[in-house]
Every structure is written in structure tokens, then in C-alpha cells.
Amino acid sequence: MAHVWVVDSNCFIHIGSMAPEGFIDDLKKILDNESTSLHVTPGVHDEVRNVRFQRWHGKPNLLEEMHNLLLTINVEEDEVRALAEKIGEKASPQDVDLSLMILAAKLVQEGRKVTLVSDDFKMTTTGDKVNMTFETCPPSTFLQRLANSGSKGQRTRLRSLSRRVRAAEMRYAISRAGQYDVQAKLTWMVDSLLASKLSPSEDSDDSPISDERKMVAALIRSIRGEKVKKSTLKKLGTLPEICSSVSILDEHLSSLTSDGSSDDISQEYERTASILAEVLESTGFGLAPLDEEMAELAHRAMAGYVYRMESALGVMSKMSGNLGLARLHLSRALHSATLIDDVGAEMRAMHQLGMLSMATDDWKRAAVLFETSDRQCQTIGGNRIPPLVLSGISRQLNGDNELAITHMKSAAALVQSDKTAATDILTSIGNGLLTVDCPGLAIEVLDEAMECAIESGQEERLEMLAELLLLANTAISNREEGNFDDLRQLLDGLNEIDDAASGEFSARIADIDKKAVELSKPLDETWSEWQPANRLLPDESPLTVLRIDEDEDGRNLVISHHKTLGAIGLWLPEGGVHASPGNLIQIQDSRVKVAAPTEILRDIHNIRGVVAIEDPDALSFIVRTDDILDDD
């Protein structure tokens, strides 16, 4: 079980006044070796903003020195108010302390072993009062426990610091003896210190797994067709037979992606949903007569299959432009992921739900989802750049600027460490923003990807990024004509670029801007008579869907991008288009007409022309089925 520390302001104040130079290096090495982390809330930043390392040369700012070691997680104000009311006004700690208690409780719920570090004994007593299950300890014990995990030199330095902090804690507690009974607090401080000196108990992850987990694992092996002991099969009874049909789900998903693309994603969705319904009906019928315990075993064993199917249905719904249905399926996927205790699956479902929230401009919800995804990412050692960047963007758009800066600084450290890998990751983030019709945001992220590609000498990536940036520029509508100066400034901190690379970047962006201007002018030629489609698209290369605009009568204007034509609108008065940004369009065996766009359409959608299709059935909306499967 991952162990994390939630640290209050008083601890940092003690560290600032007493820690020797070299403390940060010792702390970082121990945290890395123990795969642990320090969590705070934004209120802690406010309370220690002016704290400095008093014993260091130049007395540097503590937050600036410790920034890369702190994971800042926001807690909503309504959660703080609710906990304060539950505890009672007189007994309740300060708001910042309440936010730390809420954060600690959330981390416990996510499967972490959590210790809340504070010398405020009220946080311990009130936490017990409302049944919060995190452990607490004073800063001196925190430092002692870190020392126990360090090398010989680290142990000596941190134990010395721990003793000085403990003396300060004792002096303060005794000085308050006339105001309240300090005996309970002193007992708590001593007990926490003694506990830190005991040999650590065997981690629960290393202990023998329970019989229930063994049974679930055996049932999963049976579903996969693997060998299971006869004695275990006997205990499972009829479950292997009942649950066997769930394997059909993975077989279907494999066949779904075998061709690499599909020109009828709605039909694929219907077929997939039907197969899932059949399997759930069949297994439900078999489990109905069994008792609750056996049914629970079955549900846990089948949850992985259901998760993958619901996730795929969610992605297909998104590809069809039905974001409401996509959210329903992805929420179900997240629910199933919790049954299999798969943090990676939960993380990916959270990420997808966050992207859907961005599509609907629900920045607060998106930020919470991405921040949760980031915490889960830390648990499994995944790459944190995507959730950090998207959390930062969401927080900035929601007006939480300081928290946005904190997320982006953490992401920047990871980007700087490997710019080749960062190029691919930032490109993927930009692509994801394009698929939820956020081209303005995508441009800012893709700019950073291009900087990394220039610095790491990835010429092929640069050409691809230039095409993506051109597409994003033509995709911007009046919906995204807001001022992105603040966001641009925030994202500029992701990557530090030298003068030579900066010059090349500016030149490439200038070329893209020049081409974008050319592709924003009306088409040179229009025609009112039906003409072969290849007159419009001579190379028969596909169009890329930017968005679907539907009027009050259900008629569709499909805004699309072509690499040589720019943005054009396909007029489909019958409506009923099931597509989303990123889908490809091919026109086969149909004639077209081309008209100049009205001034309103040019202003709203930045299109160069409006195209009528003689035979709408000749249109194919193509999606990459490789993107349907969840990435393990």
C-alpha cells in the first residue's frame, strides 16, 4: 500500500527555522527511495508563503526550494464547510487544517496509507470524532520516521533536526498548560515517537492474500481457459460455467480493432452494446439463484471484462458525437474498475471523463477529475505530464491561478527531464484537446510540443506538428475566440528554450500563420452545377471533421479541414450525422456543388466555402478503431 504524508503549515515553519543546508537533498532522496510523497492544499501555500530557511546562506524562500517535492491538491470550500458543521463550530480546526483532514481522508479512500503531520492535537481529536481513518503525528515524529529510512548520514542529520523540533513542540505545549489540559497531547506525542522506533509491521501487500482474493484469481484463470486446481474448482461450484461467456467481450473488442478503422461507428456501437447486453443477461440469469457471497466473487472476476467493454462503448459514443452517452459508459467503466482494484484502469477512466468535462467547458469538474487521475498515476508510477498539464489548464480556466501554476511547475520538471518523450506526450494531449473541440487550447499545448521537438532534433515530428497546428488554427471558431494570453503564459513555463531553438520555433510558427491566413480566404472558384467530387478534392484525400453544427431544424453543417483546402462546410440538410472532431470523411461516387459561405458562417466557423453533396450516402465518416481500446 502506497504511503503518503499530508503536511500542515506548522511543520514547514519548524523546518524553515531549524533545518540545515542540505535538508532538501536528504528529503528528496528518502522520498524517492521510499516511493512516498508530501501532499498539501493551497491554503498551506498561503500560510507559509513568506517562510524562509533561516539557517541557510541567503535565507531562501522555503516554498521555492521545496516546490518540486510538494503535491498540491485542491479541496472545495463546500467540503470544508460541511466538515466544520459536522465537527461543530467550537471544536472545529481552522479552514486550512480542515482541508488537510479532508485531503487525508480522500487519499485513504484511494487506497493509500496516510499520515497527517501536524502538532495541532485538535486535528487528531476531531479526526477521531468524525471517524476519519488516517494516522496523525507531530512534525518531530515525521522527521524521525524519515530518518529511519535514510542512510547513515541522513539519519544523523534528520534525527538531530527531529530532536530540535521536538523540544520546540514540548516547550509550546507546556507553555499552554494554563489554557488547556496538555497531558493528552504530550501522551500522543510520546506514543507517536515510540511507534516510529518499533520495527515496521509487515506490509499488507506482502502478507498472504485472502481466500476471497484467491478465489477471484482462480475464477479469472478459469474464464481465460487456464488450469485451475480441482479443489479450487470444487469451491467455485457453477461459477466458472456461469461466467465463461464474459470472455466473448474481449474477443469482440479484438475483432473490432482488427481492421484499424471503421466507416460506421454507430453500427459498431450498436453491435457492441448488444453483445454486452447478451452477456450481462446470461450471467445475471445464472447468478440470480446464488447467494450474495458467490455472486460478489463473480462480479469481481468479470469486472475487468465489463470495464474494457464499457470503456470502449464510451469512446465510441464520443466518436459519434454523443457526449452524454459517452459519460454514462465511462462512469460505468470507472465503477467496474474499482471492483478489480486496478488503479491504472481507474486513472484512465478519470482522464477520459475529464476530457468530456473540458468538451462542455466544465472546468472545475475537469480539474478535479484530472487531479484525481494524477494521484492515481503516482500510485502506479505512470507518466504524470498529461494529468498535470490538463489540471493546470482546467484550473487556470476556472480562475484558480495559483493552483494552476503549481500543477504546471510540477509538469515542467518532468518535461525538462526528457524532451524527446515530452514531445510525444504533449502532442497526444494536443490531439486529445482537438477531439473535444478545444482547438485554442490545443494550439498552446502543441506549441510546447514543437519547442521540445526542435530541441530534441525530431524533424519528422516537426512536420506532423506543423500540420496539426495548421488544422487547429483553422478549427478555431467564435466559441474559442477568447483571450488565451494568461493560458499561453502559464504553458510557456512548461519548457525552457534557448535562443537558437527559439529562433527556429518562431520561424516555423510564422510559416504556419502565413499558410493559415491563405487558407482563411474564400475559395477561388465556386460552381452551382453538380461536378465530380474529385474536382474539389483532386487527390481524393480525406477531410477531417472539426465540429458538427446543427440548426433548430436538425440540419447539419459539418465543419471540416483539408490539408490543402483549409476549412470547408459540408451542408447536409437531412441531418442525422453521427461524428465527432477527428473523424475522417471520404466522398465516394457523388457529385458536389460549391458555394461561397455567408458572412455569418465565415465569422462563426472560419470556412472558405459551403459544399452540397448530391448523394449524402456517399459520405463515409471514418474513425481509428485503435483508439477504442483502453491502453494498458
Residue 536's domain is classified under what CATH number?
2.40.50
Cα 468 off chain centre by: 22
Distances (CA, A) of 260 to 223, 253, 270, 427, 431: 27, 12, 18, 21, 18
Beta bridge partners, 6, equal 39, 116
d(CA 535, CA 540) in angstroms, rounded, equals 9
Q: What is the mean pLDDT of the chain?
A: 86
Q: Is 616 helix (H, G, I), strand (E, B) or coil?
A: helix
- pLDDT surpasses 70 at 128: no
- Residue after which a domain boundary falls, among 275, 306, 341: 341
Residue 180 in this model has a pLDDT that exceeds 80: no
| Three-state SS annotation for 444-497 | HHHHHHHHHHHHCCCHHHHHHHHHHHHHHHHHCCHHHCCCCHHHHHHHHCCCCC
Q: Which amino acid is at 40?
A: V
**What pLDDT is attached to residue 341?**
67
The answer to whether position 373 is within a domain reads no
Q: Which residue has the higher pLDDT, 87 or 385?
A: 385
Q: What are phi and psi of 22, to 5 degrees?
A: 95, -10
- Whichever domain contains 153, its CATH number is 3.40.50.1010
Give yes or no: residues 46 and 101 share one domain. Answer: yes
37: β partners: 4
Cα 546 from Cα 566, distance rounded (Å):
11
Give the model's pLDDT for residue 302.
Answer: 94
3-state secondary structure of 192: helix
Residue with cell 461516387: 589
Instruction: Kindly state the average pLDDT of the residues 89-97.
Output: 73
Question: How many other C-beta atoms can be found within 10 angstroms of the C-beta atom of residue 535?
Answer: 12
Question: Checking DSSP bridges between strand 584-587 and strand 619-624, what pairing results, if any?
Answer: antiparallel
C-alpha distance from residue 628 to each of 264, 347, 433, 491 (Å): 14, 16, 17, 29
209 is written with which cell numbers? 492474500
CB 107 within 8 A of CB 39: yes
| Pair (145, 233) in one structural domain | no
pLDDT range class, residue 61, cuts 50, 70, 90: very high
Selected residue with higher pLDDT from 559 and 90: 559
Cα–Cα distance measured from residue 510 to residue 469, given in angstroms and rounded to the nearest whole number: 12
**Residues 220, 188 within the same domain:** no
Q: Would you say residue 80 has pLDDT above 50?
A: yes
- Would the CA dihedral through 473, 477, 479, 482 be positive or negative? positive
Interacting residues of 355 by C-beta distance below 8 A, sequence separation 6+: 366, 390, 432, 435, 436
Residue 485 pLDDT: 77
Is residue 356 in a domain?
Answer: no
Residues 300 and 59: their CA atoms lie apart, in Å, by 55
> Residue 238 is placed in which grid cell?
457453477
Answer yes or no: do 179 and 56 share one domain.
yes
- Is 297 contained in some domain? yes
- List the end-to-end C-alpha distance of the chain, in Å, as a whole number: 21
Residue with cell 480556466: 397
The more confident residue out of 284 and 176 is 284
Q: Which residue has the higher pLDDT, 174 or 218?
A: 218
Instruction: For residue 388, give the nearest of 398, 377, 399 by alpha carbon.
Output: 377
How confident is the model at residue 36, as a pLDDT? 84
Cβ count within 10 A of residue 50 = 9
Identify the CA nearest to 52 among candidates 67, 64, 62, 63. Answer: 62
| 426 neighbors 449 (Cβ within 8 angstroms) | yes
Q: Are 425 and 383 in contact (CB under 8 A)?
A: yes
pLDDT tens string 246-264: 999 999 988 887 767 777 8
Residue with cell 503531520: 117
Q: Does residue 200 have a pLDDT over 70?
A: no
Longest dimension (CA), the chain: 96
Asked whether residue 228 falls in the same domain as residue 188, the answer is no
**At residue 196, does pLDDT exceed 60?**
no
Which percentage of the chain shows pLDDT scores above 90? 43
Domains in the chain, number:
4
d(Cα 617, Cα 587) in Å, to the nearest integer?
A: 9
pLDDT per position as a tens digit, 519-565: 888 888 888 899 988 888 877 778 999 989 888 888 999 999 998 88
Q: Among residues 341, 361, 382, which one ends one of the domains?
A: 341
Confidence of residue 449 (pLDDT cuts 50, 70, 90): very high
Domain shared by 62 and 105, yes or no: yes
**Long-range contacts for 158-166 (Cβ within 8 Å, ≥24 apart)?**
158/26, 161/15, 161/18, 161/19, 161/20, 161/23, 164/18, 165/14, 165/15, 165/18, 165/139, 165/140, 166/138, 166/140, 166/193
The yes-or-no verdict on residue 178 having pLDDT over 90 is: no
DSSP 482: S
**If you average pLDDT over residues 294-314, what whole number do you get?**
92
Give every CB contact of residue 187 below 8 A, 6+ residues apart in sequence. Answer: none
Are 147 and 185 members of one domain?
yes
What is the C-alpha to C-alpha distance for residues 145 and 515, in angstroms, rounded to an integer? 60
156 and 224 part of one domain? no
* For residue 402, pLDDT beyond 60: yes
Decide if 352 is inside a domain: no
Taking residues 214-234, report their average pLDDT.
Answer: 90
Q: How confident is the model at residue 208 (pLDDT cuts 50, 70, 90)?
A: very low
34 shares its domain with 162 = yes
Q: Is residue 16 part of a domain?
A: yes
Is the residue at 37 inside a domain? yes
Q: What is the DSSP string of 44-87?
A: HHHHTTT-B-TTSTT--BHHHHHGGGEEE----HHHHHHHHHHH
Mean pLDDT is lowest, of 44-53, 101-110, 201-210, for 201-210
Give the range among 222-231, 241-250, 474-483, 539-548 with minimum mean pLDDT.
Answer: 474-483
Domain identity same for 171 and 237: no
Predicted structure pTM score: 0.76
- Identify the pLDDT of residue 447: 94
Find the range with the poorest average confidence among 43-47, 228-232, 334-338, 628-632. Answer: 628-632
Q: Is the pLDDT of residue 205 over 70?
A: no
Are 319 and 429 in a shared domain?
Answer: no
Q: Would residue 379 count as lying in a domain? A: no
* pLDDT for the residue numbered 261: 75
Give a yes or no: residue 227 inside a domain: yes
Backbone phi and psi for residue 564, each to the nearest 5 degrees, phi listed first: -110, -25
Domain end, chosen from 197, 216, 249, is at 197
Outline where DSSP puts E strands in 118-201. 135-137
Q: Contact, 391 vs 379, CB < 8 A? A: no
Query: Would you state the pLDDT for residue 191?
Result: 66
DSSP string, 486-514: HHHHHHHTT----HHHHHHHHHHHHHHHH
Q: What is the domain extent for residue 458?
A: 418-518
Same domain, 315 and 241: yes
**pLDDT mean over 216-243:** 91
